[in-house]
Amino acid sequence: MPRIQELQSDLDALKDQGLYRFRRRLDTPQGPVVRIQGRELLNFCSNDYLGLANDPRMIKSLQQGAERYGVGSGASQLVCGHSSAHAVLEEELAACTGRDRALVFASGYLANLSLITALCPGRAGLVVQDRLCHASLIDGALLARARFQRYRHRDAAALDIILERAQTDKKLVLTDSVFSMDGDIAPLQQIAEICTKRQATLAVDDAHGFGVLGDSGAGTLEQLGLRQSQVPALMATFGKALGGYGAFIAGPGALIEMLVQRARPYIYTTALPPALAVVATTGLRIVREESWRRDRLQQLVQRFRHGAQQLGLSLLPSDTPIQPLVIGAAPRALEASERLLEQGILVTAIRPPTVPENTSRLRITLSAAHQEQHIDRLLEALALAER
């Protein structure tokens, strides 16, 4: 173990490089306006895309869930932690996504670790991912100890070459649907066709698309018309558009049952508290019933992009609520974030290793809870910060 002095030296180096991370303490619920250290700030860095994290119905369902089930699940799901609240949620998730079954996890990170380690364990397997996949997918591949390759971002042709050359029948392809730091969408229809042709299993992380995209809010796969036979494994979370906490994987019955039997992060983790499963069920129903939230969110995205274009801001190409403004060097991104903070705008600077070197950025995220004047105020602040 490194000595304390060495740890402090490493921390000082992070500060010098503009890579030191710190937490801001909110004194309010999530929302378009938050309070930090007595200051009210417009919040443009939350993943609460549909404005449900502080919805009264969500709060009431948490209270009712706690009254019925208590505050803890008590054990893993295979011991005595699986409740009727989990079962109801899994049934509704399967119906919503058009999959045979769904399985609830305590977090999206655990879900992805479970998926990869259960389906592609050991050196006999090959895991192939987009280069900009979420850290949990990378860590899952490393934990599985499978052979691991990555292809150029959104480059389906490069994926095809890797799969064509693969020397194994056990091939697992993983990609985000909506990439969390760029906001763009993977070419999933092409990827699905390639996986079918090369007899590879395709798994999609739809954490940032579920609830936001699709006619009913079932996510990117619904929007693109991709069925279970084309995308056997779908993962998404409850902590973003659904406003709660937790995650799920949906797919064929045999795949889900294999996760129950072999996924160590699922087997050996205390189950998601049942009250939070009740909250997720409430959020899922709201998402499906209130399509106006998605419509409003898209209107705000277009308002922001139009305003940014008029200001000459070079946003990355994205029609999702993730609207990154690439700055470059980490210290410059931190400085830009601080200039916005001085104007009452909260936008976090995203730096390596979360994004590649020299692509540090302001990751601006929009919510259906924002008002038009909030968007206009953000644009004004960005115009001043760019001077």
By C-alpha distance, which of 336, 160, 172, 198 is closest to 258?
172
As a whole number of angstroms, the distance between CA 333 and CA 327 comes to 6
Cα–Cα distance, 289 to 269 (Å, whole number): 32
* Spatial distance between the Cα atoms of 203 and 302, rounded to a whole number of angstroms: 30
Of the candidates 226, 356, 208, 283, the residue with the CA atom closest to the CA atom of residue 56: 283
Residue 108's nearest CA partner among 258, 278, 240 is 240
3-state helix, strand, coil in the chain (%, to 5): 45, 20, 40
Name residue 270's beta-bridge partners.
76
Residue type, 59: I
CB 382 within 8 A of CB 347: no
Q: What is the CA radius of gyration of the chain?
A: 21
Tokens of 160: 């095809």
User: Do 112 and 119 touch, CB atoms closer than 8 A?
Assistant: no
**C-alpha angle 369-371-372 in degrees, rounded to nearest 5:** 145
Q: How far apart are CA 212 and CA 221, in angstroms?
A: 11
Catalytic residue numbers read 180, 208, 240
Helix (H, G, I), strand (E, B) or coil at 130: strand
Distance, CA of 325 to CA of 283 (rounded, Å): 30
Which amino acid type is present at position 210? Answer: F
